[in-house]
Amino acid sequence: MSELQASIAQYYHERTKYDPQTIASKNRALDWENQPSPFKEYKFGNTFDLKPYLSSQISSSDEPNLKTGKRLSQLLAYSYGLTAKVPTMGTPLYLRAAPSAGGLYPAELYLISRGTPFLPPGLYNYQPQSHSLIHFWESEVWSNLQTACFWHSALENTQLALVTTAIFYRSAWRYEDRAYRRIFLDTGHLLGNIELASAITDYRPHLIGGFLDQALNDLFYLDWQVESVITVIPLADLLDIKQHLSPGITALPSGTQRSYPKLPDGDLLTYFHQATEIHTSESYPKNEAKTDETEDKYNFPFCLKVSTQMYPINWGDKLSGLETTILKRRSTRAYSGGELSLDELKALLNFTYQSQNYIEQNLDPAPDYFDLDLLQTFIAVSSVSGLEEGCYYYAPKAQELRQIRFKNFRRELHYLCLGQELGRDAAAVVFHTADLEKAVNKYGDRAYRYLHMDAGHLGQRLNLAAIYLDLGVSGIGGFFDNQVNEVLGIPTDEAVIYITTLGRPRNN
């Protein structure tokens, strides 16, 4: 690939592909003595303990600060709180509500208060180990936030905003330059949890991915080579009619870099991240909403088409089933090879893609993504009763599966997923793909962030729906990129972004 012709996003994707001929040379021993901690420490600041507010004894009749504290405590716990402690030979492994590749948790979660009776103005860091907020900067910063976000409409009447950042080394320690992919997939998982946890707690999150990167990094006193702001999420309080806001612009373009130096391994990630930054407000649209495609991308001639229309999953009274599922979610470690039913697969797709069907359950019928029209979904079916084996394109607008290959791919999936038995024994494997050139033409190199976060967001909805239905589910970020397209018959323009395996969990 010519470095002068490809954007840095396309170059990065090509360079970080796994290939059967070279993957052995990329394997290296992990430096366990320098394993990064998944928790950030602040040596100063006031602590707001959120644990007491989780008490079920707090009711609607209690004074407003108690109710606000409970809602905010639940929102943070369900988004990124600790859910389990796993003993190990060394430091215990703490699991969180959102999954993370290798249990490395590169994302940090912050909160900005405009100044409320519950939270004084300033900057807060969420501390999962103690379920608390550290108030590390006690000044009004909301106007600085608005300026950095080009005076986004969602920041006009809201009082709180979540901010996610990424600490690059936490993932790069294990996955090296390819870690950038996993960092944004993990952030997408977190965004999926924030969306659903907000519905439980009567907030509406408004996603902002376009902002002045350096201005926000400076606002939080971050060294961008170590940690960088990734998303801003104003929280509209649904109990305050003044904060009932229309969806705003989620994605803005960066520049497109087509000339870059020869980069040694280890330097590619930080160089690429800097290339995706937005440095000026000039030429960026302020009030121009993206236009949604009216039809699905692929309509293969003469293919088998199977309707996926289905009754929505019932999440229980006041979304009690969703609360329980978020807290008990785990990635499946092994599948039995048993079948899924077609209705189960339809239910998973319905919750993941057809959010408009859940308005009666008080879930957001149109949650924020960056641009779902850029993502495509293919499903390799190995064992789904009532559905022929093969590879299918999922058309979310038509709500149907369109078959493109007739074959059982178990052996090939084992190979494509780097020899992981999860690929071989799953009943179905979901592939999220994107036309990188088209995405870069629309959003510049920053498109790479948006694609991976949207894929992770969809993957988290798949995760939670599968767990609720007592199915197994596990995401895979490591695979032989080019061979996926060749084996499954996926068009070559589609770059594979993420894989999610689904099946019957094996009882050990």
pLDDT digits (tens, 9 = 90+) for 299-327: 988 899 999 999 999 999 999 999 999 99
The sign of the dihedral angle between the CA atoms of 372, 393, 497, 466 is: positive
305-503 adopts what CATH topology? Answer: NADH Oxidase (3.40.109)
Check if the beta carbon of residue 187 is closer than 8 Å to that of residue 231.
yes
Task: Write the pLDDT tens digit of every residue in 101-147.
Answer: 999 999 999 999 999 999 999 999 999 999 999 999 999 999 999 99
Count CB-CB contacts under 10 A for residue 205. Answer: 25
The sign of the dihedral angle between the CA atoms of 363, 366, 372, 377 is: positive
pLDDT at 64: 80
Coil/strand/helix, residue 236: strand
CA–centroid distance for 268 within its chain: 22
pLDDT at 3: 43
Task: Write the pLDDT tens digit of every residue in 278-292.
Answer: 998 654 544 444 667
Residue bearing tokens 């495609």 = 293
pLDDT at 81: 97
Task: Write the pLDDT tens digit of every residue in 397-439.
Answer: 999 999 999 999 999 999 999 999 999 999 999 999 999 999 9
Band of residue 1 on the pLDDT scale cut at 50, 70, 90 = very low
pLDDT tops 80 at residue 508: no
Phi, psi of 499 (to 5 degrees): -130, 135
Q: Over pLDDT 70: what percentage of the chain?
A: 95
Cα–Cα–Cα angle for 325, 342, 351, nearest 5°? 40
Coil/strand/helix, residue 198: helix
Task: Write the pLDDT tens digit of every residue in 454-467.
Answer: 999 999 999 999 99
pLDDT at 56: 66
Regarding pTM above 0.85, the answer is: yes
| Average pLDDT, rounded, for the chain | 93
DSSP letter at 361 equals G
Residues constituting the chain: 508
Burial 42-52 (b: 16+ CB within 10 A, else e): eeebeebebee
pLDDT at 55: 76
pLDDT at 31: 86
Cα–Cα–Cα angle for 230, 434, 505, nearest 5°? 85
- Structure-model confidence comparison of residues 500 and 26, the more confident one: 500
Task: Write the pLDDT tens digit of every residue in 181-206.
Answer: 999 999 999 999 999 999 999 999 99
Q: Which two tokens stand for residue 132?
A: 């608390």
Query: Helices 8-15 & 447-468, crossing angle to 10 degrees?
Result: 50
For range 28-57, the mean pLDDT: 89
For 86-135, the DSSP string reads E--SSSPEEEESS--GGG---EEEEEEES--SSS-SEEEEEETTTTEEEE
For range 334-343, the mean pLDDT: 97
Query: Helices 268-275 & 168-175, crossing angle to 10 degrees?
Result: 140
Task: Write the pLDDT tens digit of every residue in 236-272.
Answer: 999 999 999 998 999 999 999 999 999 999 999 999 9
pLDDT at 287: 41
pLDDT at 62: 64
Sequence-ordered list of residues with C-beta below 8 angstroms from that of 83, at least 6 positions apart, any chain: 95, 96, 97, 327, 328, 329
CATH of domain 8-16+40-275: 3.40.109.10
Ranges assigned E (strand) in 387-507: 390-395, 400-405, 428-435, 472-476, 494-503
Domain with CATH 3.40.109.10 in the chain: 8-16+40-275, 305-503
Query: Helices 320-328 & 179-200, crossing angle to 10 degrees?
Result: 150
Band of residue 442 on the pLDDT scale cut at 50, 70, 90 = very high
Task: Write the pLDDT tens digit of every residue in 484-504.
Answer: 999 999 999 999 999 999 999
**Exposure of 457 in the CB half-sphere (CA atoms within 13 A):** 21
